[in-house]
A and B are shown apart, each in its own frame.
Chain A
Amino acid sequence: MNKKEILKKLSAAEFALWDLHLYLDTHPGDLTAVGLYNKYHKKYMLLREEYEATCGKLSPRSAQGVEWLKDPWPWEKGWCDC
């Protein structure tokens, strides 16, 4: 996968996870949704690892100094191509 594809796939997995997370706030007993959440979580963790290795660290817990400060930042034009 090139950088653009990784970003797209990571964002899609993250979006699915987040939407299920919100759904589970009001439907905490829905086990089908819990199952889907766990399925997407595995995908997400793999993609996150791949993204961080290719495009740079996502969290201030995983990078400091030079590595954290690397351009471009998400609002800048080059970011989508990471």
Chain B
Amino acid sequence: MFMYEKKLQYPVKIATPNAKLAQVIITQFGGPDGELGASMRYLSQRFAMPWGELKGLLTDIGTEELSHIEMVCAVVYQLTRNLSIDEIKRQGFDKYFVDHTTGIYPVAASGEPWTAATIQSTGDVIADLSEDLAAEQKARKTYDNILRLSDDPDVNDVIRFLRAREIVHFQRFGEGLRFVTDKLDCKNYYACNPGFDKNCGC
């Protein structure tokens, strides 16, 4: 079960609308390395996890990613407030606007709608956790690129917070993977999958 807390994990207060920048930021909502994919990936993968430590880790990080979706959407929402039709055209926002007006839709910066094809849930504990490590680095890379493209201090403050969280999650997933390999066959931990095989490990 999930319940809403009526607050953001970190405050979002953008002074200057900028639809051009919004179209870049939105990729962390609906893009290939975005927060929606992250959350769905972890919250799906957790069912294959055989140990409490990993069920907890995937549940908790998957839940934190839901808060990050909300923050990214808040940035996009505030960047696209009070735009004139002339600004919408000049800032290249017309292609998004024609389908979604200023509503928030999960889409990559390229215009591709969010797709589950960019995530996996393999049912294999080591494969899933290894994907999660890569996912955190890919999201960190996107935040790095957003910081290269944006000179809005209000936006960058939020992006830096989100970027730091990717690094913390990467650290925790690394510990999770280490926890699994410590539990498995001492000579060859790929010999079995503890998410499927019985009596797997030392």
- Say whether A associates with B: yes
Seen from chain A, the residues whose Cβ lies within 8 Å of a Cβ on chain B are: 7, 10-11, 14-15, 18-19, 21-23, 25-28, 56-61, 68, 73-75, 77, 79-80
The answer to whether B60 and A25 have CB atoms under 8 Å apart is yes
Per-residue A-contact encoding for B60-101, CB less than 8 Å = 1, 0 else? 110010000010011001100100000000000000000000
Q: Which residues of A contact B175 (CB under 8 A)?
A: 26-27
Q: How many residues of B contact A (CB 8 A)?
A: 30
Nearest A residue to B13 via CB reads A80
User: Which of B3, B61, B74 has the most chain A CB atoms inside 10 A of its CB?
Assistant: B74
Q: Contact partner of A77 among B6, B13, B168, CB < 8 A?
A: B13
Q: Which residues of B contact A77 (CB under 8 A)?
A: 13-14, 78, 81
Given A25-B56, A74-B8, A19 and B176 contact (CB-CB distance below 8 Å): no
Question: Quick check: is B196 within 8 A (CB to CB) of the other chain?
Answer: no
Provide the bound-state CA to CA distance between A23 and B60, in Å: 11
Provide the bound-state CA to CA distance between A18 and B61, in Å: 10
Nearest B residue to A62 via CB reads B6
What's the A-B contact tally at a CB cutoff of 8 Å? 71
Question: Quick check: is B152 within 8 A (CB to CB) of the other chain?
Answer: no
Task: Classify the secondary structure of B's interface with A.
Answer: helix
Task: Classify the secondary structure of A's interface with B.
Answer: helix
Provide the bound-state CA to CA distance between A79 and B8, in Å: 9
The answer to whether B60 and A26 have CB atoms under 8 Å apart is no
The answer to whether B176 and A26 have CB atoms under 8 Å apart is yes
Provide the bound-state CA to CA distance between A64 and B184, in Å: 49
Q: Which residues of A contact B169 (CB under 8 A)?
A: 22
Q: Which residues of A contact B61 (CB under 8 A)?
A: 22
Nearest B residue to A19 via CB reads B168
User: Which of B5, B6, B53 has the most chain A CB atoms inside 10 A of its CB?
Assistant: B6
Provide the bound-state CA to CA distance between A60 and B78, in Å: 25
Nearest first, the 10 closest Cβ-Cβ pairs linking A and B are A75-B74, A26-B175, A25-B56, A25-B57, A74-B8, A80-B13, A80-B11, A58-B6, A58-B5, A74-B7
The answer to whether B168 and A22 have CB atoms under 8 Å apart is yes
